[in-house]
Amino acid sequence: MRRRDFLIGAAASLAAFPARAEPPKPFRPDLWPPLTDRAKFVEWMVANRGEDPTYLGRRFDRYKVLLSFNDLWTSADKRAFLFTPREEFVLPEDKENAYVGHYLDIGFGVTITPPGTMGRMTSAIAVRHGDKVLEIGTGSGYQSALLSYLTPRLWTIEIIPQLASRTRGVYDRLIAKGYEEFSTITTKAGDGYYGWPDAAPFDKIIVTCGIDHIPPPLLQQLKPDGVMVIPVGPPGAQHILKVVKKTGAGDETTVARSDIFGGKVIPFVPLTGGHQPGDGAG
């Protein structure tokens, strides 16, 4: 091929993709990418968010799998998954695996939860714009990033101080790059068993580590009619429960529980810390 023809060809193939948005166009609740067509989604995201088409394509493919398992329920849940750059939250050496369907090691002996589990847990708490949401177990930071596309009021606690500060650094770097939505996430290092009394009460609580009971302080910090999702069961064999808090006329609290995976056992990183059974009750 003559050099001139080659150059024209190269320019034409570049033109097939619009210029990358740099920095990303800020997220707003009325900003919607195409939700059904892979090519249109990738093109829209490149133009509006300046992300890499390779990861965008993989994100869309994983999204289709989540849809086939009914892990994303509303358009808002679907959009949140499609907006969240999972490749930014895994270890650098795992970037190519960011969209696999299973757990990945993120250091400090803990893992990032699989995308389908996170998708369904997020859908199950039915986050409305303006809801106050507390997450226990920040880990990689992906779960709260996902939630930031559903509500701008988020608090998250991580018990491993080095991991909490590493993930704070991830958010700060992404905020500086233009992901302003992550500035709605308030982080701290600490034991999430006791919740976050200064920020309570919460509309929704999402616990991303497994424990054999529902921590009473978390139930206390949930608003009446508030919803919590929590992996409950023996180590490595939890059921993910949706817990709805009901307060009766006499101020007594009852809970309605259901298993969001219909009885399937889902292994989780354990909820650690110094709590004893009955801690923080009453």
Residues lying near ligand SAH in the complex (CB under 6 A): 110-113, 136-137, 139-140, 142-143, 157-160, 163, 191-193, 208-209, 269, 271-273
Closest distance of CB 64 from ligand SAH, Å = 21
Structure tokens at 279: 């801690």
* Closest alpha carbon to 182 in 172, 169, 193, 195: 172
Closest distance of CB 44 from ligand SAH, Å = 26
By beta-carbon proximity to ligand SAH, the closer residue of 44 and 204 is 204
DSSP-assigned beta bridge partners for residue 14: none
Closest distance of CB 59 from ligand SAH, Å = 16
Name the pairing type of β-strands 222-232 and 239-247.
Answer: antiparallel
By beta-carbon proximity to ligand SAH, the closer residue of 42 and 229 is 229
Closest distance of CB 132 from ligand SAH, Å = 18
* Closest alpha carbon to 129 in 261, 244, 31: 31
120 Cβ partners below 8 Å, 6+ apart? 69, 70, 71, 72, 240, 260, 261
The enclosing H or E element of 116 equals helix 115-124
Closest distance of CB 249 from ligand SAH, Å = 34
DSSP-assigned beta bridge partners for residue 254: 246
By beta-carbon proximity to ligand SAH, the closer residue of 99 and 142 is 142
Q: What's the distance, CA 190 to chain centroid?
A: 19
By beta-carbon proximity to ligand SAH, the closer residue of 27 and 138 is 138
Closest distance of CB 130 from ligand SAH, Å = 22
By beta-carbon proximity to ligand SAH, the closer residue of 38 and 188 is 188
Distance between CA atoms of residues 193 and 159, nearest Å: 10
DSSP-assigned beta bridge partners for residue 244: 227, 256
Cis-peptide, bond into residue 201, ω within 30° of zero: yes
By beta-carbon proximity to ligand SAH, the closer residue of 142 and 179 is 142
By beta-carbon proximity to ligand SAH, the closer residue of 42 and 98 is 98
Closest distance of CB 248 from ligand SAH, Å = 30
- Per DSSP, the residues of 193-261 read GG--TTT--EEEEEE-SBBSS--HHHHHTEEEEEEEEEEESSTT-BEEEEEEEEE-TTS-EEEEEEETT
Closest distance of CB 52 from ligand SAH, Å = 21
By beta-carbon proximity to ligand SAH, the closer residue of 82 and 146 is 146
